[in-house]
Amino acid sequence: MGAGEEASPLLPKQEETAQGEAVPEQREAVGWTVDGVPIGHGNVMGSPVSRSQWNSSLLACLGRNDEFCTSDLEVCLLGTLFPCFLYGSNVERLTSTPGTFANHCLPYSSLYLLGRFLFGSNCLAPWFSYPSRTAIRRNFNLEGSCEALSRSCGCCRGYMEDDEQREQCESICDFATHFFCHQCALCQEGRELRRRLPHPGFNGRTVLVMLPPTEQMMEHKV
Protein backbone atom coordinates (compact mmCIF):
# COMPACT_ATOMS: atom_id res chain seq x y z
CA MET A 1 0.00 0.00 0.00
CA GLY A 2 3.00 2.27 0.38
CA ALA A 3 3.57 2.24 -3.37
CA GLY A 4 -0.05 3.05 -4.06
CA GLU A 5 0.08 5.93 -1.65
CA GLU A 6 3.10 7.49 -3.31
CA ALA A 7 1.45 7.22 -6.73
CA SER A 8 -1.71 8.98 -5.59
CA PRO A 9 -2.00 12.60 -6.79
CA LEU A 10 -3.74 13.48 -3.52
CA LEU A 11 -0.65 12.82 -1.41
CA PRO A 12 2.76 14.58 -1.34
CA LYS A 13 5.20 13.32 -3.96
CA GLN A 14 8.84 12.47 -3.44
CA GLU A 15 11.44 14.77 -4.92
CA GLU A 16 14.12 13.49 -7.28
CA THR A 17 17.77 14.42 -7.53
CA ALA A 18 19.56 15.33 -10.74
CA GLN A 19 20.57 11.65 -11.14
CA GLY A 20 16.92 10.61 -10.92
CA GLU A 21 17.21 9.04 -7.43
CA ALA A 22 14.18 9.40 -5.21
CA VAL A 23 14.68 11.47 -2.09
CA PRO A 24 12.84 10.14 0.97
CA GLU A 25 9.80 12.18 1.84
CA GLN A 26 10.49 14.71 4.55
CA ARG A 27 8.13 15.29 7.39
CA GLU A 28 7.57 18.88 6.29
CA ALA A 29 5.81 17.62 3.16
CA VAL A 30 3.12 16.04 5.32
CA GLY A 31 2.17 19.41 6.81
CA TRP A 32 2.00 18.35 10.47
CA THR A 33 3.99 16.62 13.17
CA VAL A 34 3.13 13.82 15.55
CA ASP A 35 2.29 16.33 18.30
CA GLY A 36 0.05 18.40 16.09
CA VAL A 37 2.54 21.21 15.45
CA PRO A 38 1.62 23.10 12.27
CA ILE A 39 4.42 23.36 9.75
CA GLY A 40 4.72 26.18 7.23
CA HIS A 41 7.46 26.22 4.57
CA GLY A 42 9.74 24.08 6.68
CA ASN A 43 9.45 26.27 9.78
CA VAL A 44 7.29 25.61 12.79
CA MET A 45 4.81 28.45 13.09
CA GLY A 46 2.85 29.15 16.25
CA SER A 47 2.45 27.05 19.36
CA PRO A 48 1.61 23.33 19.40
CA VAL A 49 -2.04 22.54 18.79
CA SER A 50 -3.92 19.36 19.52
CA ARG A 51 -5.38 17.06 16.93
CA SER A 52 -8.75 18.01 15.52
CA GLN A 53 -11.66 15.60 15.76
CA TRP A 54 -13.75 14.57 12.78
CA ASN A 55 -16.84 16.73 12.56
CA SER A 56 -19.07 13.64 12.58
CA SER A 57 -18.51 10.01 13.40
CA LEU A 58 -18.13 7.25 10.87
CA LEU A 59 -21.64 5.89 11.46
CA ALA A 60 -23.43 9.27 11.65
CA CYS A 61 -24.83 8.79 8.16
CA LEU A 62 -27.51 11.48 8.58
CA GLY A 63 -25.08 14.05 9.98
CA ARG A 64 -25.59 16.06 13.14
CA ASN A 65 -28.93 17.73 12.29
CA ASP A 66 -27.31 21.17 12.22
CA GLU A 67 -27.25 23.88 9.55
CA PHE A 68 -25.73 21.34 7.13
CA CYS A 69 -28.70 18.97 7.47
CA THR A 70 -29.75 19.24 3.81
CA SER A 71 -26.18 18.73 2.62
CA ASP A 72 -25.77 15.73 4.93
CA LEU A 73 -28.88 14.09 3.49
CA GLU A 74 -27.52 14.65 -0.02
CA VAL A 75 -24.20 13.08 0.97
CA CYS A 76 -26.01 10.09 2.47
CA LEU A 77 -28.06 9.51 -0.67
CA LEU A 78 -25.03 9.84 -2.94
CA GLY A 79 -22.96 7.50 -0.78
CA THR A 80 -25.73 4.90 -0.76
CA LEU A 81 -26.85 5.03 -4.39
CA PHE A 82 -24.00 6.67 -6.34
CA PRO A 83 -20.69 6.35 -4.42
CA CYS A 84 -18.75 7.14 -7.60
CA PHE A 85 -20.32 10.63 -7.73
CA LEU A 86 -19.65 11.27 -4.05
CA TYR A 87 -16.03 10.18 -4.36
CA GLY A 88 -15.46 12.39 -7.39
CA SER A 89 -17.10 15.33 -5.62
CA ASN A 90 -14.97 14.80 -2.51
CA VAL A 91 -11.73 14.80 -4.48
CA GLU A 92 -12.78 17.82 -6.51
CA ARG A 93 -13.54 19.77 -3.35
CA LEU A 94 -10.35 18.56 -1.63
CA THR A 95 -8.03 19.58 -4.46
CA SER A 96 -10.00 22.80 -5.18
CA THR A 97 -9.43 22.16 -8.87
CA PRO A 98 -12.44 22.27 -11.19
CA GLY A 99 -12.47 19.42 -13.69
CA THR A 100 -10.95 16.71 -11.49
CA PHE A 101 -14.38 15.17 -10.93
CA ALA A 102 -14.35 13.10 -14.12
CA ASN A 103 -10.69 12.08 -13.69
CA HIS A 104 -11.55 10.34 -10.42
CA CYS A 105 -15.19 9.42 -10.93
CA LEU A 106 -14.62 7.41 -14.12
CA PRO A 107 -11.77 5.18 -12.81
CA TYR A 108 -13.74 4.60 -9.61
CA SER A 109 -16.82 3.62 -11.61
CA SER A 110 -14.77 1.16 -13.68
CA LEU A 111 -13.35 -0.51 -10.58
CA TYR A 112 -16.78 -0.52 -8.95
CA LEU A 113 -18.40 -2.29 -11.91
CA LEU A 114 -15.45 -4.69 -12.29
CA GLY A 115 -15.62 -5.66 -8.62
CA ARG A 116 -19.35 -6.19 -8.82
CA PHE A 117 -19.00 -8.32 -11.94
CA LEU A 118 -16.07 -10.48 -10.78
CA PHE A 119 -16.60 -10.73 -7.02
CA GLY A 120 -20.17 -9.55 -6.47
CA SER A 121 -19.09 -6.71 -4.20
CA ASN A 122 -17.34 -3.34 -4.29
CA CYS A 123 -13.96 -4.71 -3.25
CA LEU A 124 -11.70 -3.04 -5.84
CA ALA A 125 -12.67 0.63 -5.65
CA PRO A 126 -11.47 1.05 -2.01
CA TRP A 127 -7.92 0.34 -3.16
CA PHE A 128 -8.23 3.39 -5.41
CA SER A 129 -10.16 5.71 -3.08
CA TYR A 130 -8.54 5.27 0.34
CA PRO A 131 -5.71 7.83 -0.26
CA SER A 132 -8.36 10.56 -0.22
CA ARG A 133 -9.03 9.77 3.44
CA THR A 134 -5.33 9.99 4.21
CA ALA A 135 -5.11 13.34 2.42
CA ILE A 136 -8.10 14.73 4.34
CA ARG A 137 -6.64 13.57 7.64
CA ARG A 138 -3.29 15.18 6.89
CA ASN A 139 -4.61 18.43 5.44
CA PHE A 140 -6.89 19.17 8.39
CA ASN A 141 -4.74 17.58 11.13
CA LEU A 142 -7.49 15.11 12.03
CA GLU A 143 -7.10 12.34 14.54
CA GLY A 144 -6.58 8.93 12.96
CA SER A 145 -8.03 5.63 14.08
CA CYS A 146 -4.78 4.39 15.67
CA GLU A 147 -4.31 7.60 17.62
CA ALA A 148 -7.93 7.56 18.79
CA LEU A 149 -7.53 3.98 19.99
CA SER A 150 -4.28 4.82 21.76
CA ARG A 151 -5.89 7.85 23.44
CA SER A 152 -8.95 5.92 24.61
CA CYS A 153 -7.34 2.74 25.92
CA GLY A 154 -3.74 3.89 26.47
CA CYS A 155 -2.15 1.12 24.41
CA CYS A 156 0.72 1.34 21.91
CA ARG A 157 1.86 4.75 23.16
CA GLY A 158 5.50 3.97 22.41
CA TYR A 159 4.59 2.90 18.90
CA MET A 160 2.54 6.06 18.35
CA GLU A 161 5.44 8.34 19.34
CA ASP A 162 7.43 7.31 16.27
CA ASP A 163 6.24 9.57 13.46
CA GLU A 164 6.99 7.17 10.60
CA GLN A 165 5.54 4.08 12.27
CA ARG A 166 2.48 6.01 13.35
CA GLU A 167 1.78 7.23 9.81
CA GLN A 168 2.17 3.72 8.41
CA CYS A 169 -0.34 2.45 10.95
CA GLU A 170 -2.77 5.27 10.17
CA SER A 171 -2.51 4.58 6.42
CA ILE A 172 -3.36 0.94 7.04
CA CYS A 173 -6.35 2.02 9.13
CA ASP A 174 -7.46 4.40 6.36
CA PHE A 175 -7.43 1.50 3.91
CA ALA A 176 -9.24 -0.82 6.32
CA THR A 177 -11.91 1.82 6.92
CA HIS A 178 -12.52 2.19 3.19
CA PHE A 179 -12.45 -1.56 2.57
CA PHE A 180 -14.80 -2.65 5.37
CA CYS A 181 -16.96 0.51 5.78
CA HIS A 182 -16.54 2.03 2.36
CA GLN A 183 -19.80 3.91 1.93
CA CYS A 184 -19.77 5.20 5.51
CA ALA A 185 -16.18 6.41 5.01
CA LEU A 186 -17.10 8.29 1.84
CA CYS A 187 -20.05 9.93 3.59
CA GLN A 188 -17.94 10.95 6.60
CA GLU A 189 -15.33 12.48 4.30
CA GLY A 190 -18.03 14.24 2.29
CA ARG A 191 -19.55 15.80 5.42
CA GLU A 192 -16.12 16.88 6.64
CA LEU A 193 -15.17 18.53 3.36
CA ARG A 194 -18.50 20.34 2.95
CA ARG A 195 -18.10 21.90 6.38
CA ARG A 196 -14.52 22.97 5.79
CA LEU A 197 -14.19 23.84 2.10
CA PRO A 198 -16.37 25.62 -0.46
CA HIS A 199 -17.02 23.93 -3.76
CA PRO A 200 -14.23 24.79 -6.26
CA GLY A 201 -16.88 26.16 -8.61
CA PHE A 202 -17.29 29.12 -6.27
CA ASN A 203 -13.60 30.02 -6.55
CA GLY A 204 -14.01 31.32 -10.08
CA ARG A 205 -16.86 33.66 -9.27
CA THR A 206 -16.27 37.37 -9.22
CA VAL A 207 -16.96 38.98 -5.87
CA LEU A 208 -17.97 42.65 -5.85
CA VAL A 209 -16.69 44.44 -2.78
CA MET A 210 -18.34 47.75 -1.91
CA LEU A 211 -16.08 50.18 -0.11
CA PRO A 212 -17.45 53.22 1.74
CA PRO A 213 -16.45 56.60 0.32
CA THR A 214 -13.37 58.11 1.81
CA GLU A 215 -13.74 61.13 4.01
CA GLN A 216 -13.00 64.33 2.13
CA MET A 217 -11.38 67.32 3.77
CA MET A 218 -12.29 70.82 2.65
CA GLU A 219 -9.42 73.23 2.27
CA HIS A 220 -9.90 76.79 3.43
CA LYS A 221 -8.07 79.44 1.50
CA VAL A 222 -6.70 82.38 3.47
Using the 8-state DSSP alphabet, how is residue 44 labeled?
E
* Each residue's pLDDT tens digit, 160-195: 677 788 888 999 999 999 999 999 999 999 999 999
Model confidence at 119, in pLDDT bands (50, 70, 90)?
Answer: very high
- Per-residue pLDDT at 33 exceeds 70: no
Question: What are the residue ranges of helices labelled H in the chain?
Answer: 2-7, 69-81, 83-95, 100-119, 125-139, 145-153, 157-161, 163-180, 182-196
Give 160's Cβ-side CA count (13 Å radius). Answer: 17
Conformation bin of residue 39: beta by default, left when phi > 0, alpha when psi is -120 to 50: beta
The Cα 21–Cα 7 span in angstroms is 16
- Per-residue pLDDT at 206 exceeds 50: no
Conformation bin of residue 65: beta by default, left when phi > 0, alpha when psi is -120 to 50: left
- Asked if 146 and 170 count as a contact pair (C-beta separation under 8 A), the reply is yes
| Phi, psi (rounded to 5 degrees) for 57 | -75, 170
Better-scored residue on pLDDT, 191 or 158? 191
Question: What value does the mean pLDDT take over residues 10-15?
Answer: 59
- Against a cut of 0.75, is the pTM above it? no
